[in-house]
């Protein structure tokens, strides 16, 4: 075979392999954004990171605007009642609230950050196990063409089933990256994220804006490409027609 033909075949094979290798995708969400000014450092992470902002926090709106201006996906990180009844911040949803209170609270949260494409739960190990509150939440999200990410703080969460029942785009978190704030632990969790993506083609991880997390992720995120994995905005893993960038909510 002529040299040029051989070279062309090799190049075509390499391109085809690289194209195939890039089919695996991960989304990384940085939760708990908004309480501290230092959370701004998370916005410098490389690649298409998704950011989840706690509603009505000191820096949440300002940092969310910066993230949105840089074309990052933005979620509202809605506090939900936990099993051990931990203290919840503003914009929280609890089992003591009725449907009207749920929807008014969500409306206020989205009035502050109207370009958010959906929500995920902050805590919520108790509330997400209750179908009715999840149904009210999904009804709101469906009305406004928003998505839901279940942080899976409970293995018994009914959020996904409620979302499916109401036709709300839903995914679940597979990996928490920084339950322990050591380079060794975060690196091990990152390996798990890679393994899940390689096995299932996609994977979703959640981390937090801790300095230790930022330092390790700045090193690890560029290595995803070496494993044939693309870091994508969370919305890329959902049906493209469902995530609305801007919504209008009425009081």
Confidence of residue 205 (pLDDT cuts 50, 70, 90): very high
* In the predicted structure, residue 192 carries a pLDDT above the cut 90: yes
For 147, the enclosing helix (H) or strand (E) is strand 147-150
Contacts of 151 (CB under 8 A, 6+ apart): 31, 120, 121, 122, 124, 173, 206
**What mean pLDDT value characterizes the chain?**
90
pLDDT tens digits, one per residue of 12-70: 444 444 444 458 999 999 999 999 999 999 999 999 999 999 999 999 999 999 999 99
Other Cβ atoms within 10 Å of 178 Cβ, number: 23
User: Euclidean distance between the first and final Cα of the chain, in Å?
Assistant: 73
Q: What is the pLDDT of residue 248?
A: 43
Q: What is the pLDDT of residue 15?
A: 42
Q: What is the DSSP letter of 93?
A: B
Mean pLDDT value across residues 146-162: 96
HEC profile of 214-236:
HHHHHHHHHHHHHHCEEECCHHH
Q: What is the pLDDT of residue 4?
A: 44
Q: What is the pLDDT of residue 86?
A: 79
pLDDT tens digits, one per residue of 64-94: 999 999 999 999 999 999 998 877 899 999 9
Share of the chain above pLDDT 70, in %: 86
Radius of gyration of the chain (CA): 20
Confidence of residue 196 (pLDDT cuts 50, 70, 90): very high
Distance CA 192, CA 176 (A): 10
Q: What is the pLDDT of residue 11?
A: 41
Q: What is the pLDDT of residue 3?
A: 39
Q: What is the pLDDT of residue 240?
A: 67
Distance CA 251, CA 108 (A): 8
Distance CA 230, CA 145 (A): 26
């Amino acid at each position: 075979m002529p040299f040029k033909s051989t070279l062309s075949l090799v190049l075509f094979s390499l391109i085809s392999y690289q194209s195939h290798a890039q089919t695996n995708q991960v989304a990384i969400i940085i939760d708990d954004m908004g309480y501290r000014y230092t959370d701004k450092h998370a916005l410098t992470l490389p690649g298409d990171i998704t950011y989840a902002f706690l509603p009505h926090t000191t820096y949440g709106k300002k940092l969310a605007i910066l993230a949105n201006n840089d074309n990052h996906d933005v979620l509202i990180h809605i506090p939900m009642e936990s099993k051990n009844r931990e203290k919840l911040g503003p914009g929280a949803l609890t089992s003591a609230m009725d449907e009207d209170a749920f929807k008014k609270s969500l409306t206020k949260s989205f009035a502050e950050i109207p370009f958010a494409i959906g929500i995920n739960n902050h805590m919520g190990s108790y509330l997400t196990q209750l179908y009715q509150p999840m149904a009210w939440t999904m009804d709101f999200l469906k009305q406004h063409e928003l998505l839901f990410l279940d942080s899976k703080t409970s293995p018994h969460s009914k959020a996904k089933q409620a979302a499916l029942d109401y036709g709300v785009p839903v995914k679940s978190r597979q990996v928490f990256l920084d339950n322990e704030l050591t380079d060794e632990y975060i690196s091990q969790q990152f390996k798990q994220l890679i393994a899940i993506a390689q096995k299932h083609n996609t994977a979703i991880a959640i981390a937090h804006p801790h300095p230790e997390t930022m330092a390790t992720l700045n090193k690890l995120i560029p290595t995803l490409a070496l494993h044939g994995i693309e870091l994508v905005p969370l919305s890329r893993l959902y049906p493209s027609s469902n995530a609305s960038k801007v919504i209008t909510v009425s009081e």
